[in-house]
Amino acid sequence: MALTACVAETPQASRSTDAKPTAATATPSPSGAARPSLPLAGRTVVVDPGHNPGNFRHTAEINKKVDVGTHRKECDTTGTATDAGYTEAAFTLDVAHRLRELLEQRGAKVVLVHDAERPYGPCVDERARIGNAAGADAVVSVHADGSAVGNRGFHVILPARVRGGGADTAKIVAPSRTLGEKLAAAFTRATGAPPANYLGGGTGLDVRDDLGGLNLSTVPKVFLECGNMRDPKDAALLTDPAWRQKAAQGIADGIGAYLEG
């Protein structure tokens, strides 16, 4: 069975730990001005690890259609993998764990859409609902692409303006674009990775109207395709734990830049 390109989307499992953001303490800066040591205290970030390692064993379940407002589409997809068999689902979970750590260090409350605690999924509609129910200040869905060899680099997927059924992105289009722009800039800085050379005209930004995880979101949300697992050079980066730490750092920096305005 051919691997499904990453495209589908994916959303979560809430983390049961309920680390309460402690009140931001102020640390005097050299200038004497107070600088919060926990700049994201009181903010909620939902991290959506794309796909699920168990999806490969539950293809019948994930192929069932769900209502994404504008249309119906598959519950979830398997995601892609490198030639060596490192799966996108393993990649997204690893980056999500690293990202959670970094965001919690800054005082944010972090909710993972899933942590592989369920056999498959969740479905894309539920992934969106988890972010909405959390009242997230920002949601980032972490992915890696499954494109042709030679296609390299990362890109951020922004929600298009859509309306239909339960989908209405009018209120999230603008803030999601701001989040995506901050994320793209910070991701390049942290990883040294260039924007994708195969879409987005070199901006690292793409806009889509077919992703249920975006269409059903009522809070600012973007997808990040960190690189192309099907390209050997990108795959070498995605497979490297040190690079994944840089990726998580870039995402945390981008979210921080967005939330700290």
Q: What 3-state class would DSSP assign to 204?
A: coil
Gap between the Cα atoms of 210 and 70, Å rounded: 8
6 sits near Zn ion (criterion: CB under 5 A): yes
Which of these is catalytic: 9, 88, 126, 225? Answer: 225
The pattern of x and - marking residues 92 through 131 that bind Zn ion according to CB under 5 A reads: ----------------------------------------
Residues in region 9-68 near Zn ion by CB under 5 A: 50
Gap between the Cα atoms of 115 and 113, Å rounded: 7
Three-state secondary structure of 164-183: ECCEECCCCHHHHHHHHHHH
Gap between the Cα atoms of 10 and 2, Å rounded: 19
Stretch of 1-9, 178-186, 196-204, 245-253 contacting Zn ion, by CB under 5 A: 1-9
Is 225 noted as a catalytic residue in this protein? yes
Stretch of 13-21, 73-81, 229-237, 251-259 contacting Zn ion, by CB under 5 A: 73-81
Among 79, 195, 213, 256, binds Zn ion (CB under 5 A): 79
- How many other C-beta atoms can be found within 10 angstroms of the C-beta atom of residue 34? 12
226 sits near Zn ion (criterion: CB under 5 A): no
Stretch of 11-19, 75-83, 101-109, 243-251 contacting Zn ion, by CB under 5 A: 75-83
Gap between the Cα atoms of 129 and 258, Å rounded: 22
Gap between the Cα atoms of 158 and 200, Å rounded: 11
Nearer to Zn ion, 88 or 181 (CB): 88
Among all residues, which ones are annotated catalytic?
225
Sites of contact with Zn ion (CB under 5 A) = 6, 50, 79, 143
